[in-house]
Copies of this chain bind each other. A is one copy, B any other.
Amino acid sequence: MDFLKDYTGKINKELEAIDLPNGPSNLYDPLRYFFKLGGKRIRPILTLLAAERFDKNAVNDSINAALAIEIFHNFSLVHDDIMDEAPVRRGQQTVHKKWNQSIAILSGDVMLVKAYEYLNSYSPEIAKQLIKIFSKTAVEVCEGQQMDMDFEKISKVTQEDYLKMITLKTSVLLGCALQMGAIVGGGDVQGQTDLYAYGLNMGIAFQIQDDLLDLYGDPKLVGKQVGGDVIANKNTLLMVIAKESANENQLKKLEKLSTETNIDRKIKGIIALFKTLKVQEKCQELMGDFYNKAEYYLNKIDVNDSESGLWLLTKQLQKRSY
C-alpha cells in the first residue's frame, strides 16, 4: 500500500514524538515500547483521509483525533494480549510478557486516558462530539471483546452472533475513526453517517478476510503459521459456517478433528471438510457483500475517482494478501 506510506510515516512520527514523563518508568516505558512496535496504522489513516475528504487543509488538524484512535487501539491490544495470554505482538514480546501483568493493566489504562486527552484538545464543541462517538465506540469494543471471550466457551455460535461480535470488536472502531475525521474536517451529519457506515462494512469485510487469510493465505505473506485459528479451535466465520452447513456425520468429523494432535493432519482434514461444505466460497461471498455495501456508502459521499485516498485504500484492502 505504497500511497499510504506518507500517512503511516506521519502517524509513526507523531506517535514517537509524544512527550511522555520519564517516571515512573515502569508505567511509561511500555507506552514508548508499544508505540514503536509499528503496525498498519489503518485506523488513524482513516481519520486523516476522512478529514481531508471534507477539508483539504484538515489533515494536520485531525492528527490529534487520529492519535487518539491509534492509542485507543493500542490500549485494547495491550489488555487483550493479557486476556489471550499472547506472548508475541508484531514479532515482539507483549507488554505483560516483557514487564508483567500489573504493568500491562496499568499502562493500558494510561493509554485510554491519553486517548481522551487528545480528543479534549479540540474546541469545546468539536471535543464534545468526538468524545461522544469515541466513548460509545469504546464501550462497544469492550462488549465485542467480552462476546469473543464468551464464544470460547460455546461450541456452536450462530453466524448472526459472530457477525455482531466482529462488528463490535473491530468494525465500529473503523467507523468511529472515519466519523471523527469527518467531524474535524467539518463534514455534515449525512456525510459523517455515510462514512461511519462505510467503515463499519469495510471493517466486517476486513475481519472476514482475516479469517480467510489465516487458513488460505500464503504463509510467507501472512507472516504467521497458516491455520493458527484452526489449530486453536477458534470460532472463526469459517468454522461457524462449517458447523451451520454440516450434517451430523460431518459435525462428528469436525468434533474429532478438533482433538487431533497431529497439526498437519488436523489442518488437511479441516480444509478437506471445508471444501466439501463450500466454506471458503460462502465466506468470500459474504465478504463480497460487505465490501459492496462499503462501496455503496463511499460512493454516496465520494465518487469513485482515482485520486481519492479512501477509494485507493478500499481497493488495496480488498486485494490484500496479508
Known contacts A26-B149, A79-B105, A105-B83; is A139 also within 8 Å of B110 by CB? yes
Interface centre among A21, A106, A117 (most CB of B within 10 A): A106
A103: which of B125, B131, B146 is its contact (CB, 8 Å)? B146
Structural contact, B27 and A143, CB atoms closer than 8 A? yes
The reply on A204 being an interface residue by CB < 8 A is no
Interface size of A by CB at 8 A reads 38
Q: Give the chain B neighbours of A56 by CB distance below 8 A.
A: none
Closest residue of chain B to A124 (Cβ to Cβ) is B124
Q: Give the chain B neighbours of A103 by CB distance below 8 A.
A: 146, 149
Find residues 124-149 in chain A having any chain B CB closer than 8 Å to their own CB. Answer: 124-125, 127-128, 131-132, 135, 138-139, 142-143, 145-147, 149
Structural contact, B127 and A131, CB atoms closer than 8 A? yes
Query: In the assembled complex, how far is the CB of residue A217 from the closest CB belonging to chain B, in whole angstroms?
Result: 28
The reply on A242 being an interface residue by CB < 8 A is no
Closest residue of chain B to A129 (Cβ to Cβ) is B124
Query: In the assembled complex, how far is the CB of residue A63 from the closest CB belonging to chain B, in whole angstroms?
Result: 18
Distance, CA A82 to CA B100, complexed state (A) = 12
A146: which of B26, B79, B150 is its contact (CB, 8 Å)? B26
The reply on A112 being an interface residue by CB < 8 A is yes
Query: In the assembled complex, how far is the CB of residue A169 from the closest CB belonging to chain B, in whole angstroms?
Result: 11
Q: Give the chain B neighbours of A127 by CB distance below 8 A.
A: 124, 127-128, 131
Structural contact, A135 and B113, CB atoms closer than 8 A? yes
The reply on A12 being an interface residue by CB < 8 A is no
Q: Give the chain B neighbours of A82 by CB distance below 8 A.
A: 101-102, 105
Find residues 12-60 in chain A having any chain B CB closer than 8 Å to their own CB. Answer: 21, 23-24, 26-27
23 A-B contacts, Cβ less than 8 Å apart?
A21-B143, A24-B146, A24-B150, A26-B150, A79-B106, A82-B105, A103-B149, A106-B145, A106-B146, A106-B149, A110-B142, A112-B112, A112-B113, A116-B116, A116-B131, A117-B139, A120-B128, A120-B131, A120-B132, A124-B124, A124-B125, A124-B127, A127-B131
What 6 new A-B contacts, CB under 8 Å, besides A83-B101, A106-B142? Answer: A21-B143, A83-B105, A109-B109, A113-B135, A113-B138, A113-B139
Which A residues have a C-beta under 8 Å from some C-beta of B? 21, 23-24, 26-27, 79, 82-83, 101-103, 105-106, 108-110, 112-114, 116-117, 120, 124-125, 127-128, 131-132, 135, 138-139, 142-143, 145-147, 149-150
Q: Top 7 closest A-B pairs, CB basis? A: A124-B124, A83-B102, A27-B146, A24-B146, A124-B128, A113-B138, A120-B131
